[in-house]
Structure 1
Amino acid sequence: MRNQRERQLKLLPFLLGYFRRYAILAVVAAFFALLYGLSTAMMISLVDPVLGEVLLADGVTPSVVGTLTNGPDEGDGASANTASGLEAKMGGPIRGLNLKARLDAAYSRLKETFGVTDQTVVYFLPILAVIVFLGRGLTGFLSAYAFQQIGLRVTTDIRNDLYSVILSQSSRFHAEHPSGELISRIVNDVGMIQTVVSYRVIDLVQQSLTLAFLVALLLSTHLQLALICLILTPMFIFPIIRFGKGMRKSSHRSQERMADLANLVAESVRGHRVVKAFNMEEFEFDRFKRVTRRHLRINLWAQLLSTLSSPVVESLGVVGMAAMLVYAGRQIRAGELSASLFVAFLVNLIWMYEPVRKLNKVNLVLQQSLAAARRVHDIMEIPNEIEEEPDAIELLGVEQGIVFDKVSFAYDAPRVLHEVDLTIRKGETVALVGPSGAGKSTLINLLPRFFDPDAGRVTIDGIDIRDVTLDSLHAVIGMVTQVTVLFDDTIRNNIAYGRRDLPLVMIREAAAAAYADKFIMEMPDGYETVIGESGLRLSSGQRQRLAIARALLKNAPMLILDEATSHLDSESEYLVQKALHNLMQGRTTLVIAHRLSTVMSADRIVVLDDGRIVEGGAHEELLKMEGVYRRLYDLQFNV
């Protein structure tokens, strides 16, 4: 419970930090909300004199002012214009704030001074009420629009910052958080925050201010009755808090199930071919329905809490009203409270129902938003294990080479790499081979700092890569991987990737060197052809050649090739190998390949087994060692 409160308290500065960016707009919104609440209170306060004059004219019940200025047994002509006179006629101190009596007495003096008749008041006050009501509508619109501006801007900032945090996180973070979950937090959770900030904060501010003015009116009308209402307040607050906590828990679970749904959909869409090939449509649909059923149960419970809260609060309100009526009835019979004063008090109390009802609804939605904000905050609070030092230097290129110095690494346990020592000279092509799980991909993933080693260090030209800026490190490394990453964009933009100002001539040169220009020009729109999500409108070989063209255009001095020719047919592999040959010219290159035929021409072949370097040398040298490399070679070539 304590940890939960601490986490909730952290949300306050987290959210306020965004609101501070729009402090001026927030002040404007709050000012209009203040005017809205004031105009609401003014409109309510105008009802009492009008109602009083009408009732007085009909001979029913004196108005609030009339009752206080006339004794209960006197005619309409009798008047007492001071608070002390009122107290004398009531047989003692008025059972309300003295301020109320003075205001009512001042009202009577004002009528006499300007010669305003009761009939004039009846016609004038409705006109004033219309003006105040129009002002209330205008200030309500302005404050609502200002708060919606803040809400949209704040949630846009939160969404941008969250996406930035996710992009900057390490590969370990992405391995632990499925893509569907991250998408759900960016879209659904931030969307929930937007709903509250844009549309509910205005209710919170407006109705709170209105309620504050109404409480002040109650206190000024009759102190003892107002205190009774305040004493009964905890009876309303307790269920509101309880319902709010239940709503927050339900909302948190609901958002988690939404993340499960998003992840399930992402997986099944990405793997739709496997789903169809194994006739697993029904199986995947059943998985989806199980998650939606859990989501439905949670939402039904949340809806029950939301629907039940209003009747419970209203029922308690009736109980409180009954208690107040009993007390007021005794006061009236004892002559200590006038009937019209009680009517005025009751009217103000009834006006309080609407802000209380709206604040109850705001609380329920606010709890949902807090659950979503906590999920967003949790992601943004995860420390990035790949941090850049404040005094990091720029890496300008590779002059000497790369050194892996006694590098060890473990994802969790056991270790994947054990004190690996490896030196790669500038311009050298080094191939890493070994059985699956030997640590090849892990080793090269340390170079661009997708992970940091648990022990040892990686240096470029003698400089620890943890001491250089990430931007400059990534700028000197080109990469082509087994899983080709392309985007739902044009071929031109996929090759240029972010550098939209590059001339088409340069892009075509890179594509030609990657043996991709021919098939690109045969497409309907050439380089402007949109290739679909992940480039699925292209063949595997075509996608791989676009990735090589992108690396060629980057022209980085270091190159990582991770299974760049796997899963290709012979013709595609031939073209890709020719493209890779062009790409590797003059670059320091690290190659991973299971097909030994693709690495025989490397300057040096390094063999890893169980996270350790066990052999190294040229192809012919390794065959003579009769070790791991020879065993892999014999298996592949059926020797």
Structure 2
Amino acid sequence: MAAAAGGGAWRTYKRLLRYALPYWKLFLFSSLTMAVYGGTDTLFAALMKPMLDDSFVARDPEAIRMVPVMLIGLFLLRGLVGFASSYGMSWIGRKVIESLRREMFDKLLVLPVSYFDRVAGGELVSRLIYNVEQVAQASTNAVTILIRDTFTVAFLLAWMFYLSGWLALMFLVIGPVMAALIRYVSRRFRRISERIQGSMGDVTRVAEEVIAGQRVIKAFGGQEYERERFEQINAKNRRLQMKMVATSAASVPVVQFMGAATLALVIYLATQQSLQENISAGDFVSFITAMLLLMPPLKRLTSVNASLQSGIAAAGSIFELLDAESERDTGSRRLERAQGRINYEGVTFRYPDTPAPVLEDLSFEVAPGETVAIVGRSGSGKSTLVNLLPRFYDPQGGRILLDGHDLRDYWLADLRAQISVVGQEVVLFNDTVAANIAYGRPDADHAAIRRAAELANALEFIEALPQGFDTHVGEQGGLLSGGQRQRLAIARALLKDAPILILDEA
């Protein structure tokens, strides 16, 4: 199980890194500057040897002059390569995020309606906004720390072995213990991160429902119920976040304690008589400096697992969305403009996880130009019936014909171009009145928009608005009344001028 999970995490991370491949030259340059940055710590530790042995002990005039100059040059170099590496990696990271968000948004546009029936909108929004930012931590900050600090640790260890292999080995005794701790912390971070991201989706979902349904909540006195529901989800999210904080906070001092214990052991061994003959004062101070400089990168390498594992878990949820099956478009028949003859032949449809079909062996015909009213009790399948026509769903039995051909034979775009729909729930976008009426018809001129509004009996109230057709309607048309929103939706359907017009309780 653990091995499989680890392999899955590695596959996810490799897939994520592929998004950075187009920028491999900048990545290589940033990696080289990070290597130089990692070497500056070792150079600083190395300067301690001539500073002590040559400047303070031997009083060499050349060393006294050169060591300060070398220190200034060293930190100037460190600043330059540090800026170059951080900026380069951040640029790559934001490009990766831009690409992921673009792919996710494009995917949302081609997913079937049934997918949105299964997955809450709040969860999808959370993936698009929150999870993608978690990926930024894994693809930039974490990678920067991993590369730069790995070079730093490698160079410092090499210098320590150069000074004294025995003391360096003593320092490395605790390495396997630290590695085991890091592996344990990594697994725990990943598990908690996956639960946190699911919890964030719940928080977003409930908040969106409350905002969208605030009129119903007020009308039915549901404030206390919604408050309790949100409090439970919010408290769960807080508990998960605190588990993450506790794991991160506990791992850092443990690693620091083990490092301090190693430092104490090395100092003790270095002061023993058997070693004093082989190590000068400058060697010893340089060795201790290298050890102390090892602590921060080791600490960061331990702590980076929090953001790294969060990013991997977030990337997994993003790739799950990207890998979801898109809406099937298997048709090959083109359709310029339909006559409008519709035949339902033995149509049967059942929603997933429902025992009984909503529609069963339904057959009827609608002639071109004919107006048909479908009546029935609530829940009898009227909306399902009309949702089958633009192929938002496909029937499990029977078939639906348009002008004598199965709907599945047509290209989806051509089929849906023949149909205008005004649904039970009117959807308006946070734009102007004119833009909402002309949605899907960007080439429509003002005269056509005005004519559609007039046919929908919307012209009178539109002209009474502050900016007329240029008035913004607000989110979901919140600045308009329910009747006004519906008339705008009808105007939009009329402007499309499709052969088939569906009014679902509109």
Which moves more between the two structures, 359-368 or 24-33?
A: 24-33
**How many matched pairs?**
503
Counterparts of 1:222-621 in structure 2 under 5 Å?
222-325=164-267, 327-328=269-270, 332-333=274-275, 335=277, 340-384=282-326, 386-389=327-330, 392-399=332-339, 401-412=341-352, 413-414=354-355, 415-564=357-506
SS in structure 1 opposite 2:347?
Answer: strand
CA distance in 2 between counterparts of 1:562 and 1:556 reads: 16
Who is 2:110 aligned against?
A: 168
Per-residue deviation, residues 416-466 of structure 1 (Å, max 9, x unmatched):
233333443433333333333332222221222211222343343444433
Q: Distance in 2 between the 1:466 and 1:31 partners? A: 55
> In structure 2, do the counterparts of structure 1 residues 410 and 10 end up closer, same or farther at CA, with 3 Å as the change threshold?
farther
Superposed displacement of residue 328, structure 1: 4.4
Match of 1:273, as an amino acid? R
Match of 2:86 among 144, 149, 154: 144
Cα displacement (A) at 1:338: 5.6
Q: Is residue 340–residue 369 contact of structure 2 (8 Å, CA) maintained in 1?
A: no
Following superposition, the deviation at residue 399 of structure 1 comes to 4.0
In structure 1, give the amino acid aligned to 2:329: E
Task: Quote how far apart the aligned CAs of 1:331 are.
Answer: 7.5
Q: What secondary structure sits across from 1:306 in the alignment?
A: helix
Structure 2 residue matching 1:351: 3-state secondary structure: helix
The match for 2:100 is: 158
Counterpart in the other structure of 1:185: 127
> Is the counterpart of residue 135 in structure 1 residue 136 in structure 2?
no
Q: Is the 8 A contact 1:403 1:459 kept in 2?
A: yes
Question: Which amino acid in structure 2 is aligned with residue 398 of structure 1?
Answer: A
Per the TM alignment, residue 281 of structure 1 is displaced from its structure 2 partner at its CA by 2.2
> Post-superposition shift, 1:562?
1.2
Partner of 1:51 in structure 2? Answer: 52
Matches of 1:213 and 1:405 in 2, distance apart? 76
CA distance in 2, matches of 1:226, 1:426: 88
Question: How far off is 1:123 after superposition?
Answer: 1.5
Q: Is the 8 A contact 1:407 1:458 kept in 2?
A: yes
Distance 2:414 2:52 in 1: 77
- Where in structure 2 are there 5+ consecutive unaligned residues? none
Residue pair 1:232, 1:320 contacting (<8 A) in 2 also: yes
Check 1:174–1:331 CA distance in 2 against 1; reply closer, same or farther (3 A cut): farther
TM-score (normalised: structure 2): 0.91
Residue 30 of structure 1 is matched in structure 2 by 31
Tell me how far apart the structure 1 counterparts of residues 159 and 16 of structure 2 sit (CA, whole Å).
Answer: 34
Local SS of the residue matching 2:394: coil
SS across alignment from 2:19: helix
The verdict on how the C-alpha distance between 1:28 and 1:407 changes in structure 2, with shifts beyond 3 A counting, is farther
Compute the RMSD of aligned alpha carbons.
2.5
1:91-141: CA deviations, max 9, x gaps? xxxxxxxxxxxxxxxxxxxxxxxxxxx321232132122112111111110
Compared CA separation, residues 465 and 216, structure 1 to 2 (3 A): farther
SS state at 1:418 partner:
strand
C-alpha deviations, 1:257-291, integer Å up to 9, x for none? Answer: 22211111111122212222233323322222222
- Aligned: 1:210 with 2:152: yes
Moved more, 474-483 or 40-49: 40-49
Runs (4 or more) in structure 1 with deviation over 6 Å come to: none
1:110 corresponds to which residue? none
Cα 1:229/1:275, change in 2 over 3 Å = same
Q: 1:172 to 1:517 in 2, by over 3 A?
A: same
- Point out which structure has higher relative CO (alpha carbons under 8 A, 6+ apart): 2
- Between stretches 443-452 and 467-476, larger displacement belongs to 467-476
Change (3 A) 1:429 1:373: same
Q: 1:499 Cα deviation (Å)?
A: 4.3
Q: Which amino acid aligns with 1:4?
A: A
> SS in structure 2 opposite 1:403?
strand
Per-residue Cα deviation, 1:49-72 (whole angstroms, up to 9, x for no partner): 2232134237xxxxxxxxxxxxxx
Structure 1 residues 422 and 220: CA distance shift in structure 2, 3 A: farther
| Structure 1 portions without partners, runs of 5+ | 59-117, 565-639
Report the alpha carbon displacement of residue 225 of structure 1 after superposing the two structures with TM: 3.4
Alignment check: 8 A CA contact 2:107 2:322 kept: yes
Larger Rg: 1
> What is the SS of the residue equivalent to 2:203?
helix
Check conservation: 1:36, 1:136, Cα contact below 8 A.
Answer: yes
How far has the Cα of 1:495 moved from its partner? 0.6
Whichever residue aligns with residue 537 of structure 1, its letter is L
TM-score, structure 1 normalization: 0.73
In structure 2, the CA distance between the partners of 1:466 and 1:129, relative to structure 1 (3 Å rule), is farther
Identity among equivalent pairs (%) = 36
Alpha-carbon distance in 1 for matches of 2:215, 2:24: 52
* Deviation (angstroms), 1:334: 8.4
Quick one: which amino acid aligns to residue 481 of structure 1? Answer: G
CA distance in 1: counterparts of 2:403 and 2:435, whole angstroms: 33
AA aligned to 1:504 is: H
Quote the offset at 1:330 in angstroms: 5.3
Q: Partners of 2:147 and 2:500 in 1: how far apart?
A: 58
**Pair 475,29 (structure 1): closer, same or farther in 2 beyond 3 Å:** farther
| AA in 2 matched with 1:309 | S
Question: For residue 10 of structure 2, what is the aligned residue in structure 1?
Answer: 9
CA deviations 1:336-380 (Å, max 9, x no partner) are 666654443332222211211122222222122222222222222
Contact 1:240-1:313 at 8 Å conserved across structures: no
| Aligned position for 1:635 | none
Instruction: Tell me how far 1:500 sits from its aligned partner.
Output: 4.3
Q: Deviations over 1:1-41 (max 9, x none)?
A: 25534542331243123212332332232232223223343
Secondary structure (helix, strand or coil) at the match of 2:20 reads helix
For residues 210-230 of structure 1, give each alpha carbon's deviation from its aligned partner in whole angstroms, at most 9, with x where no partner exists: 222222223333334334444
Q: Which 10-residue stretch deviates more, 554-563 or 462-471?
A: 462-471
Residue 477 of structure 2 aligns to which amino acid in structure 1? G
